[in-house]
């Protein structure tokens, strides 16, 4: 890699028999700085901050995560002489604040969790459907306790991802001559911050009014957890939207590259910009792998159990407010999962497939051999560096994941409903036997009834 960066030679068809055929007498050799862009040093700290429009437009969400103690990363002062503009430290002010907020939240979460667990243990003699409601609300508490492991532990990786965005924007501006513009992203981010907490209050308060045993003081243990889930969904949406915007801007500059003085050089520079963009998409999944992995598992478990509880109650007693509350949870969880999978799909398509189509539509007959070769290398780079959202090797985030979750939920739901129907049949047989005993006023069972008992056992 070091030898490659020292000198990059672009294939030139005008060079014949080892001699350079150039009307200007200039050798078409380019240093690494011409290909990779000007080197970014510690002295460029203020310049990085100035052109980091992605940070300025999404700062509100970063600050919200700091206040909530979800991701305690910090931005260095503007006059700091370093290229790492975003940092993470286990003893920074933001991290110490996160310790305090998480500890205070633990008080109410543990108290509510203990009461839910006690109710679950006391209801062992009640119907299975009544017991299962406590499991649903216990599972929603799990992300709070896993926050230090799932989120804080990946703080250094999140800082790397943020710094990649910062460096990419300056490099993009120096190579293309234009900045990356994120239209309406500032307003969108602020709106999502407010909407995250508003949706949290709406979902939890609906459970208080629709669920008989959901006391109002219990809701204080859930507000920050639902808001955190909403915030991570917003973060994913914003990043996917930004990837699509950067890819679209790079694609629109392709025609300028083909008309430039050295089109092969420009294509080589754009190729490295595209590879950096693909690596950022991979780093996003790596930085938040544990958080989104737990996110998906909690959604899968909660949705399956809630849907079973709602359907079983409707089957046995008909529709009531309790089932409506469970349907609210199902709709909420499935909407979050769909947004994450759908936005990842669109980002992958915009950065990969749609960009590849633009390259394939280049008229190779109208460009020289050197530029043709750069187009071919660009296509190879796209094939070798697919822009995928991968949770650190666990799974790819795309529409297939959403379809797979629905398939798995359906399978488990069918099994649970078969179990429910078995319980209903047994209850019906017991009711019939009770009626028969009352009518004939007998204390002994006939042979047929004894056979039925054996079959039930």
Tens of pLDDT, residue by residue over 377-401, are: 888 988 888 888 888 888 889 899 8
Between these two residues, 5 and 132, which has the higher pLDDT value?
132
At 174-231, the pLDDT tens digits run 888 888 888 889 999 999 999 999 999 999 998 888 887 788 888 899 999 999 999 9
Kindly state the helix (H) or strand (E) to which residue 87 belongs, with its residue range: strand 86-87
Are 249 and 174 in a shared domain?
yes
Task: Kindly state whether residue 28 falls inside one of the protein's structural domains.
Answer: yes
* Predicted TM-score (pTM) of this structure: 0.82
CA distance 457 to 447: 16
Residue 211: partners with Cβ closer than 8 Å, 6 or more residues away: 133, 321, 322, 325
Are 205 and 344 in a shared domain?
yes
Token pair, residue 175, equals 């190579």
Residue 354 is predicted with a pLDDT of: 86
Paired strand residues for 9: 29
Residue 16 is predicted with a pLDDT of: 33
Report residue 78's pLDDT band, with 50, 70 and 90 as the boundaries.
confident
Residue 58 is predicted with a pLDDT of: 92
CA distance 331 to 145: 24
Cα-based distances in Å from 87 to 66, 189, 207, 362: 13, 22, 39, 42
Q: Residue 268's closest CA among 81, 24, 5, 20? A: 5
Q: Is the pLDDT assigned to residue 65 strictly greater than 90?
A: yes
Are 241 and 257 in a shared domain?
yes
Q: Is the pLDDT assigned to residue 8 strictly greater than 60?
A: no
Task: Kindly state whether residue 402 falls inside one of the protein's structural domains.
Answer: no
Task: Kindly state whether residue 284 falls inside one of the protein's structural domains.
Answer: yes
How many domains does one find in the chain? 3
**Residue that is last in its domain, among 397, 426, 446:** 397
Residue 123 is predicted with a pLDDT of: 60
At 396-415, the pLDDT tens digits run 898 998 998 898 888 888 88
DSSP 8-state code for residue 180: P
At 446-455, the pLDDT tens digits run 555 544 444 4
Residue 212's Cβ-side half-sphere holds a number of Cα atoms within 13 Å equal to 5
Q: Is the pLDDT assigned to residue 325 strictly greater than 60?
A: yes
Task: Kindly state whether residue 274 falls inside one of the protein's structural domains.
Answer: yes
**Residue that is last in its domain, among 375, 397, 419:** 397
Cα-based distances in Å from 339 to 161, 241, 374, 403, 439: 21, 12, 36, 13, 59
Residue 341: partners with Cβ closer than 8 Å, 6 or more residues away: 397, 398, 399, 401, 402
Are 90 and 169 in a shared domain?
yes
> Quick check: helix, strand or coil at residue 88?
coil
Are 365 and 457 in a shared domain?
no
Token pair, residue 404, equals 């797979």
Are 421 and 366 in a shared domain?
no
Task: Kindly state whether residue 297 falls inside one of the protein's structural domains.
Answer: yes
Report residue 9's pLDDT band, with 50, 70 and 90 as the boundaries.
very low
**Residue that is last in its domain, among 348, 376, 397:** 397
Average of pLDDT values for 119-137? Answer: 68
Are 244 and 306 in a shared domain?
yes
Report residue 4's pLDDT band, with 50, 70 and 90 as the boundaries.
very low
Are 425 and 446 in a shared domain?
yes
Report residue 125's pLDDT band, with 50, 70 and 90 as the boundaries.
low
CA distance 94 to 64: 12
Are 259 and 168 in a shared domain?
yes
CA distance 249 to 251: 5
Cα-based distances in Å from 64 to 29, 68, 85, 231, 337: 49, 6, 18, 9, 22
Residue 311 is predicted with a pLDDT of: 82
Q: Which domain holds residue 4?
A: 1-36
Are 153 and 222 in a shared domain?
yes
Are 359 and 433 in a shared domain?
no
Are 281 and 359 in a shared domain?
yes
Task: Kindly state whether residue 154 falls inside one of the protein's structural domains.
Answer: yes
Task: Kindly state whether residue 323 falls inside one of the protein's structural domains.
Answer: yes
CA distance 332 to 100: 29
Round the average pLDDT of the chain to a whole number and report it.
Answer: 81
Task: Kindly state whether residue 100 falls inside one of the protein's structural domains.
Answer: yes
């Amino acid at each position: 890699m070091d030898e490659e960066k020292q000198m990059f030679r672009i294939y030139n068809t005008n060079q014949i028999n080892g001699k350079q055929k150039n009307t200007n007498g200039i050798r078409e050799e380019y240093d690494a700085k011409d290909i990779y862009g000007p080197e970014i040093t510690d002295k460029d700290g203020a310049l990085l901050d100035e052109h980091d429009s992605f940070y300025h437009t999404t700062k509100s969400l970063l600050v919200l995560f700091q206040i909530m103690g979800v991701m305690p990363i910090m931005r260095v002062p503007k006059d700091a002489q370093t290229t790492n503009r975003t940092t993470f430290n286990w003893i920074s002010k933001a991290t110490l604040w996160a310790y305090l907020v998480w500890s205070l939240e633990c008080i109410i979460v543990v108290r509510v969790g203990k009461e839910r667990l006690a109710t679950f243990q006391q209801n062992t003699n009640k119907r299975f459907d009544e017991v299962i409601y406590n499991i649903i609300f216990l599972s929603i508490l799990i992300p709070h306790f896993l926050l230090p492991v799932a989120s804080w532990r990946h703080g250094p990786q999140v800082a790397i991802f943020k710094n990649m965005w910062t460096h990419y924007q300056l490099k993009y501006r120096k190579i293309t001559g234009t900045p990356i513009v994120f239209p309406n992203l500032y307003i969108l981010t602020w709106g999502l911050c407010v909407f995250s907490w508003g949706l949290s209050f709406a979902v939890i308060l609906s459970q208080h009014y629709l669920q008989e045993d959901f006391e109002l003081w219990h809701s204080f243990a859930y507000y920050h957890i639902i808001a955190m889930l909403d915030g991570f969904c917003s973060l994913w949406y914003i990043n996917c939207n930004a990837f699509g915007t950067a890819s679209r801007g790079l694609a629109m500059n392709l025609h300028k590259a083909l008309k430039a003085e050295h089109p092969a050089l420009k294509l080589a520079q754009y190729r490295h910009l595209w590879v950096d963009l693909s690596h950022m998409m991979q780093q996003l999944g790596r930085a938040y792998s544990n958080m989104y992995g737990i996110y998906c598992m909690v959604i899968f478990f909660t949705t399956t159990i809630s849907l079973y509880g709602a359907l079983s109650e409707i089957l046995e007693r008909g529709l009531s407010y309790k089932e409506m509350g469970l349907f609210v949870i199902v709709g909420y969880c499935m909407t979050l999962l769909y947004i994450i999978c759908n936005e990842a799909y669109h980002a992958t398509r915009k950065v990969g497939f749609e960009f590849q189509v633009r390259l394939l539509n280049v008229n190779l007959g109208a460009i020289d051999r050197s530029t043709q070769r750069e187009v071919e290398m660009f296509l190879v780079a796209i094939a070798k560096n697919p822009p995928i959202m991968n949770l650190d090797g666990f799974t790819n985030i795309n529409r297939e994941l959403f379809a797979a979750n629905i398939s798995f939920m359906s399978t488990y739901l069918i099994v649970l409903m078969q179990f429910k129907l078995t319980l209903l049949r047994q209850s019906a047989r017991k009711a019939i036997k009770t009626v028969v005993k009352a009518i004939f006023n007998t204390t002994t069972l006939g042979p047929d009834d004894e056979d039925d008992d054996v079959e039930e056992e």
